[in-house]
């Protein structure tokens, strides 16, 4: 899978993504990540890419032309019209379902805004998706782009050591993941739940499922609406929710 990130701060993006699991996947050729500097497409002698917003108001705005030229140079390298994701607090909130959908693409282009954002006219011409990472305002789209590249990359086959580890995780089936434990069996007087040491896979799965349901009811009851639950699980959730009221 190929990621292209249009940004004014390519080093920030590349430094952040070139480590650990994502960095190894790039070295193995499973992913390619290219940060493209929008400033290289500045059209004035000062290399500036921002200007005052018409109508007044605080801050500067990224101009349309450098962003458009940067996009055009990228689009020439990509066979089909790429999906262009503009990182914006005004977009749909990013979630695991969106990450799964993005992971089906062969190429993804991320456009990072800075200052007060980007001239609307170029957004209208090139952007296919407006995506936010949450209801707060950051200084730039670089961190959101890195978050999305990370979340999408780990769904690309081969990126995780064990492909199964991306399957049974939080938000799968609209439930949070169950608690996990590793060695030693006792730490700070806390014992690993005995069922996990029993070797009995059916019981382990039953315990994990129940823990997932409990965790979701306690921490993210909003997810339960879409989760498929048995009657017994629904009763368990109702009890937990009643205790929280």
Binding site for ligand SAM (CB under 6 A): 87-90, 112-114, 116-117, 132-134, 136-141, 144
CB of 37 to ligand SAM, least distance (A): 16
CB of 151 to ligand SAM, least distance (A): 13
User: Whose Cβ is closer to ligand SAM: residue 143's or residue 195's?
Assistant: 143
CB of 113 to ligand SAM, least distance (A): 2
Q: Which residue is nearest to ligand SAM (CB)?
A: 113
Closest CA to 4 of 84, 91, 99: 84
User: Whose Cβ is closer to ligand SAM: residue 105's or residue 116's?
Assistant: 116
User: Whose Cβ is closer to ligand SAM: residue 18's or residue 90's?
Assistant: 90
Give the tokens for residue 132: 């936010």
Helices and strands (DSSP H and E) totals, the chain:
9, 9
Distances from the Cα of 30 to the Cα of 21, 120, 152, 153, 169, angstroms: 11, 34, 12, 9, 22
β-strand pairing of 107-112 with 50-51: unpaired
CB 114 within 8 A of CB 140: yes
- List alpha helices for the chain, DSSP H: 10-17, 20-27, 64-77, 96-102, 120-126, 142-153, 201-219, 221-224, 231-244
Q: Report DSSP state, residue 164.
A: G
User: Whose Cβ is closer to ligand SAM: residue 139's or residue 243's?
Assistant: 139
CB of 30 to ligand SAM, least distance (A): 26
Name residue, tokens 């129940």.
210
User: Whose Cβ is closer to ligand SAM: residue 57's or residue 184's?
Assistant: 57
User: Whose Cβ is closer to ligand SAM: residue 137's or residue 202's?
Assistant: 137
CB of 19 to ligand SAM, least distance (A): 22
CB of 172 to ligand SAM, least distance (A): 24
């Amino acid at each position: 899978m190929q990621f292209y990130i249009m940004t004014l701060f390519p080093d920030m993006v590349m430094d952040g993504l070139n480590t650990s699991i994502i960095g190894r996947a790039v070295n193995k050729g499973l992913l390619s990540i290219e940060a493209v500097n929008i400033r290289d497409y500045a059209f004035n002698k000062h290399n500036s890419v921002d200007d005052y917003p018409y109508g007044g108001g605080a801050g500067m705005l990224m101009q349309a032309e450098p962003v458009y030229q940067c996009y055009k140079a990228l689009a020439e390298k990509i066979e089909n019209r790429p999906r262009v994701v503009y990182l914006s607090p005004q977009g749909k909130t990013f979630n695991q379902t969106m990450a799964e959908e993005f992971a089906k693409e062969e190429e993804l282009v991320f456009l990072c805004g800075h200052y007060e954002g980007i001239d609307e006219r170029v957004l209208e011409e090139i952007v296919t998706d407006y995506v936010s990472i949450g209801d707060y305002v950051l200084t730039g789209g670089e961190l959101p782009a890195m978050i999305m590249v990370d979340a999408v990359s780990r769904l690309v086959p081969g990126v995780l050591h064990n492909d199964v580890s991306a399957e049974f995780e939080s938000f799968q089936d609209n439930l949070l993941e169950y608690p996990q434990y590793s060695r030693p069996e006792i730490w700070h007087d806390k014992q690993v739940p005995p069922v996990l040491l029993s070797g009995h896979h059916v019981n382990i799965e039953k315990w994990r499922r129940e823990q997932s349901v409990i965790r979701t009811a306690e921490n993210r009851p909003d997810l339960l609406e879409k989760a498929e639950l048995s009657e017994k699980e629904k009763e368990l959730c109702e009890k937990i929710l009643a205790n929280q009221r």
